[in-house]
């Protein structure tokens, strides 16, 4: 018996099992995708330059900044943090002196382009309705908007991961050709050149082909191998450089893992469900990032369970419906979602790379496709109820992202502008955690004091020792306070300052406080 024609008898799918769709004709409505794309553009350009640059964005800036005598090819080849994105940004930052706009513009454009592409991929995987839902959900997705407004390569990674998944489906359904092989290899390489974490999806695509398409059942399997190998070959210079930086030897069983890269936050099992939640609703529904860093899990759940439950319920309903309706196609999505998360979990457990939802963001668009397939499968009335519920919560999260200071990115720029005027006396400015960002914007007098290489403060004695080392016997200085969990999650520094002198709040912006301290007279 030919297993290709009777794949079901041996538990394997036939090569054409993805070819049929519920609707004939075009896979998507161009008018709907255009509307979703315009909505995506509106949401990604709104607020684009409102936030100050952040630490990671300044890493990009320092790598490509004009006027520093940098050499293009040398800098791009030396970067393992999104060389493709940095190559594009290199050109833009030399066209206009506006770092916030020019660093973020490539990400915004990539985020916009991802919306119709995901709609097309979802329609190919399932049907037209799923494609429409996928485009809409990605257009308003807060997680995707967040990284479409950040001067890093994550939006590039997501865009080209979607393209790679789409091309994989085309090759699976219509057969490999040299043109498709080249395009898939190029898409995979572009995704990894957006951020090397895209290799997690590249592994997932390889496993999908090996398990469910297979060298024995696919037409011209060497073309598939050429595509996967070609993608890796194109980014091999950066992959090899990364292996020299990351402690990859820790992956070997029995090898030492060293001191946790980011303390207790390097990995916790609760990070996995929260990553799913953030892929769907972003970081602005429920607990803020500050609460996630500073509070215990029990306190977070007690304080935010209504929002967490309200978001989890429709996501579970739609996800379950999607898994039930996709048939064997569900295995594609399970691999494309599960493998990146599993690889990152292993790396975090072995202390090679700390857990962060963005490092597995290659899985995020396929979570959206799964939810879209579920929405498309529901009966019209239930689809409307779940759709309104889900979209309503997403819009609530977007409102939090745009207008609620608890969820906003830290406005260090505003603090620097304030102190440019307020620090006429030129007193020192203590800036733990966000020193580089503050220094980028600050042009006033007074030394900027950092907290580089300072261990976490574990009590008042450690706080006083830190202050003596950094400020000596200064009678007065300013404090710019943001992201305290990187230095002082216990609040010992401010407590010590209030005890030993007069600490007064002078200015506040999103996520940032500016205080002035003066020694008490003897």
pLDDT tens digits, one per residue of 449-487: 999 888 999 999 999 999 999 999 899 999 999 999 999
CA gap 158, 163 in Å, rounded = 9
pTM of the model: 0.91
Q: What percentage of the chain carries pLDDT values higher than 90?
A: 74
Q: Could you tell me which residue, 479 or 174, shows the higher pLDDT?
A: 479
Give yes or no for residue 81 having a pLDDT over 80. Answer: yes
Give yes or no for residue 517 having a pLDDT over 80. Answer: yes
Q: What is the pLDDT of residue 301?
A: 83
Q: SS3 sequence, 434-495?
A: CHHHHHHHCCCCCCEECCCCCCCCCCHHHHHHHHHHHHCCCCEEEEEECCHHHCCCCCHHHH
Give yes or no for residue 4 having a pLDDT over 80. Answer: no
| Residue 504, helix vs strand vs coil | strand
Tell me how crowded residue 289 is: count the other CB atoms within 10 A of its CB. 17
Dump pLDDT digits (tens) for 262-281. Answer: 666 667 888 899 999 999 99
Confidence band (pLDDT; 50, 70, 90) for 26?
Answer: low
Q: Buried b / exposed e across 224-263, counting CB within 10 Å, b at 16+?
A: bebbbebbbebbeebeebeeeeebeebeeeeeeeeeebee
Q: Which two tokens stand for residue 314?
A: 């429709």
Dump pLDDT digits (tens) for 30-40. Answer: 889 999 999 99
Dump pLDDT digits (tens) for 95-105. Answer: 999 999 999 99
Confidence band (pLDDT; 50, 70, 90) for 522?
Answer: low
CA gap 407, 244 in Å, rounded = 36
Q: Give residue limits of the domains in the chain.
A: 250-408, 412-519
Dump pLDDT digits (tens) for 198-215. Answer: 999 999 999 999 987 666
Q: What percentage of the chain carries pLDDT values higher than 70?
A: 92
Q: What is the pLDDT of residue 1?
A: 37
Q: What is the pLDDT of residue 352?
A: 87
Q: What is the pLDDT of residue 491?
A: 93
Q: What is the pLDDT of residue 5?
A: 38
Q: What is the pLDDT of residue 58?
A: 94
Dump pLDDT digits (tens) for 323-367. Answer: 987 777 888 999 999 999 999 999 999 888 889 999 999 999 999
Instruction: Supply the DSSP symbol for 47.
Output: T
Dump pLDDT digits (tens) for 490-502. Answer: 999 999 999 999 9
CA gap 30, 28 in Å, rounded = 6
Dump pLDDT digits (tens) for 147-165. Answer: 999 999 999 999 999 999 9
Give yes or no for residue 14 having a pLDDT over 50. Answer: no
Give yes or no for residue 83 having a pLDDT over 90. Answer: yes
Dump pLDDT digits (tens) for 287-331. Answer: 998 888 887 888 888 889 999 999 999 999 999 999 987 777 888
Dump pLDDT digits (tens) for 413-460. Answer: 999 999 999 999 999 999 999 999 999 999 999 999 999 888 999 999
User: Angle at the Cα of 54 (from 53 to 58), degrees rounded to 5?
Assistant: 80
Give yes or no for residue 9 having a pLDDT over 70. Answer: no
Q: What is the pLDDT of residue 302?
A: 87
CA gap 435, 424 in Å, rounded = 20
CA gap 397, 288 in Å, rounded = 11
């Amino acid at each position: 018996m030919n297993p290709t024609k009777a794949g079901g008898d041996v538990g394997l799918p036939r090569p054409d099992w993805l070819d049929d769709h519920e609707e004939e004709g075009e896979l998507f409505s161009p008018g709907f995708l255009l509307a979703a794309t315009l909505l995506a553009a509106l949401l990604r350009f709104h607020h684009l330059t409102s936030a100050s640059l952040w630490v990671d964005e300044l890493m990009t800036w320092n790598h490509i900044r004009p006027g520093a005598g940098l050499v293009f090819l040398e800098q791009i080849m030396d970067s393992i943090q999104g060389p493709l994105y940095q190559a594009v940004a290199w050109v833009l930052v030399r066209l206009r002196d506006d770092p916030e706009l020019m660093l973020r513009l490539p990400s915004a454009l990539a985020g916009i382009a991802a919306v119709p592409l995901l709609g097309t991929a979802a329609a190919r995987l399932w049907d037209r309705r799923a494609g429409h839902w996928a485009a809409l959900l990605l257009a308003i997705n807060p997680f995707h908007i967040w990284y479409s407004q950040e001067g890093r390569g994550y939006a590039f990674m997501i865009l080209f991961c979607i393209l790679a998944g789409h091309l994989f489906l085309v090759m699976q359904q219509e057969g490999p050709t040299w043109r498709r092989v080249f395009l898939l290899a190029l898409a995979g390489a572009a995704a990894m050149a957006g951020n090397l974490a895209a290799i997690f999806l590249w592994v997932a695509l390889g496993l999908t082909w090996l398990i469910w398409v297979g060298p024995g059942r696919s037409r011209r399997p060497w073309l598939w191998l050429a595509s996967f190998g070609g993608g890796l070959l194109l980014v091999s210079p950066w992959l090899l450089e990364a292996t020299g930086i990351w402690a990859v030897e820790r992956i070997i069983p029995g090898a030492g893992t060293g001191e946790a890269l980011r303390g207790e936050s390097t990995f916790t099992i609760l990070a996995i469900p929260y990553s799913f939640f953030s892929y769907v609703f972003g970081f602005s529904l429920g607990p803020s990032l500050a609460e996630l860093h500073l509070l215990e899990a029990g306190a977070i759940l007690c304080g935010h369970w209504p929002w967490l439950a309200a978001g989890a319920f429709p996501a579970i309903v739609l996800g379950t419906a999607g898994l039930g309706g996709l048939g064997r196609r569900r295995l594609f999505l399970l691999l494309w979602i599960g493998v990146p998360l599993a690889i990152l979990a292993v790396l975090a457990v072995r202390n090679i790379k700390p857990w962060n939802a963005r490092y597995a963001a290659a899985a995020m668009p396929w979570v959206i496709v799964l939810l879209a397939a579920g929405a498309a499968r529901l009966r019209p009335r239930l689809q409307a109820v779940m759709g309104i519920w889900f979209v309503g919560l997403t819009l609530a999260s977007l409102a939090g992202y745009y207008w609620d200071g608890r969820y906003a990115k830290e406005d260090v720029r505003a603090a620097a502008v304030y102190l440019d005027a307020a620090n006429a006396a030129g007193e020192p400015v203590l800036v733990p955690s966000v020193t580089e960002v503050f220094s980028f914007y600050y042009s006033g007098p007074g030394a900027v004091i950092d907290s580089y290489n300072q261990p976490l403060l574990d009590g008042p004695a450690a706080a006083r020792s830190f202050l003596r080392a950094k400020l000596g016997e200064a009678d007065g200085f300013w404090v710019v306070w943001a992201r305290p969990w990187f230095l002082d999650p216990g609040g010992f520094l401010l407590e010590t300052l209030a005890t030993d002198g007069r600490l007064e709040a002078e200015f506040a912006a999103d996520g940032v406080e500016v205080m002035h301290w003066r020694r008490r007279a003897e």
